[in-house]
Structure 1
Amino acid sequence: MFHKAGERELAVKQAQNYDGGRDGWVLGVGCGLYLRVLYQSGMIPSTAAVVSSENRNVGGQFKNNTKTMVDIKQQFVELIRNRSEENFESLRDDFAKRRIGKCMETLRTELDSFIRVMYLGRISNINERERLIKQTLSGEKWTILTPNNKWKQVTDKDMVDKANELMGYVQYVYKFGCGFIHLSDFHNYATINPFDKLSETEKSDVKKYLNKYHHFPIGNELTVESITNYIPGVFEKISSNLTYYFGAIINNGMINT
């Protein structure tokens, strides 16, 4: 499966040692691909690859977290990972059959997962982060406490505001995702351009990401047809980095860039 000795160990080590560093996304591309192969081949058990060995003592007990909270975080990562694997298979099949509307929907679903993981990774209060994870696992909407001590649902604006805290690749893809997930009417894209429903800011964010990381001509109009050939590459890059950032969720790390 791996052509060089130690490649499996390198992939796992990169996930274990994620520190939210500035260049984390670069390592993440290769690491995500390695971990996908490891998961599918059964060479490592699901989320075990991203649980840092530093969090265990000789007896196998978690030093800094209760077993229950670690299990909850692992369940969350497993949920997102399974969703990502299903998205990967769906997009591969739909793209081969040129069902582009479905490909766009799948990409939007993957971006939703990415945005939520990034949002969690910017919350320094671990108890608050784990509360939101519990809400996900129980099928509840995310809620936050307002300055008036009242609970409200996390809105798109709350998600977008987090982008101001980010830098580099993560900020680009986060803004891209926040715009992209507002798209609709994919099945009628031959007569109605879904990108026309985005704000000018959202369209600009989508274009900037595609141009910087996938060489989309900045002067081109955004249409389903114009981005079709970019969809597989966009999905793979986002999916790979999503896998890499699981380490920050498991190990209570912060995601910065």
Structure 2
Amino acid sequence: MNNDLSIFLDQVKSRSVENREAFKILLDSKLYGVAIGLLRQELDSLIRISYLWQPETPVAVSQSLIEKSVRGKMWKVVNHNGKEVKVTDRDMLNLASHLGGWEQTIYSFGCKLIHLSDYHLYLDKDPFDTLSNAEKEEIIGYLSAYHDYSKSNIRFNDLVEYLPKIMVKLTDNVEFYIEELPEKMDGCYENP
């Protein structure tokens, strides 16, 4: 395995381990907003590593983005017009259909808690009161499909009970791509 790929995978592993440990501390302290922010951060790792892995991302692009990550540079690619553009979370999320669609639900809800919003008043006002029925149904559908949620409605406290399961799903998926990415990248690097 190439040194850049090895370093990149170590970055992802290290972030994931720290996220899991901090997540547990936050839940134990009932700091749910920040805990959900960590779910969103773990999702960031997942969409990045799965973006590199997916067949639609050329190996040369994956290699370039890995090198950028290792060197602390912003992820940019050359578009069809020959212009270098930033690879956004939204771009990667839109191409992440191979994950199953659930990642969109976590991303949307998590963004509302990483950006300053009325969701931060969750101790006084249930954020689910401001969600549309479609948004609630999307969250219920995700929780039902992946975590055996059985209620027909949802409140913030209901979601809190499922946060550990959501983190496990994210970290398990990150670990899967950590194992799979080297196979895609095999042979694209010259041995030092």
Please give the range of the TM-score, normalised by the shorter of the 2 chains. Answer: 0.7 to 0.9
- Cα distance in 2, alignment partners of residues 247 and 209 from structure 1: 25
Q: Give runs of aligned pairs for residues 75-114 of structure 1, distance below 5 A.
A: 75-114=7-46
User: How far apart are residue 144 of structure 1 and its match?
Assistant: 2.3
Is residue 239 from structure 1 mapped to residue 171 from structure 2 by the alignment? yes
SS in 2 for 1:112: helix
Residue 212 of structure 1 deviates from its aligned partner by: 0.3
User: When the two structures are superposed, what TM-score results if normalisation uses the length of structure 1?
Assistant: 0.61
Residues 241, 163 of structure 1: alpha-carbon distance in 2 compared, 3 angstrom cutoff:
closer
Return the match for 2:50 from 118, 123, 127: 118
Q: Percent identity at matched positions? A: 27
Distance 2:136 2:91 in 1: 19
Aligned residue in 2 for 1:150: 83
Note the alpha carbon deviations across 1:146-201, whole angstroms, 9 max, x for none.
Answer: 2211111123431232134x2xxx22333334324422245422245556787877
State the match for 1:3 in structure 2: none
Moved over 4 A (4+): 192-205
Task: Tell me the residue number matched to 1:42.
Answer: none
Quote the offset at 1:105 in angstroms.
1.5
1:208–1:218 CA contact under 8 A, matched in 2: no
Conserved 8 A contact 2:50-2:96:
no
Q: Per the alignment, in what secondary structure is the counterpart of residue 184 of structure 2?
A: coil
Which amino acid in structure 2 is aligned with residue 179 of structure 1?
S
Answer yes or no: is the 8 Å Cα contact 2:147–2:162 preserved in 1: yes
- The one-letter code sitting in structure 2 at the alignment partner of 1:159 is M
**2:66 corresponding residue in structure 1:** 133
SS at match of 1:190: coil
Check whether the contact 1:182–1:198 (CA below 8 A) recurs between aligned residues.
no
Q: Residue 183 of structure 1: SS of its match in structure 2?
A: helix
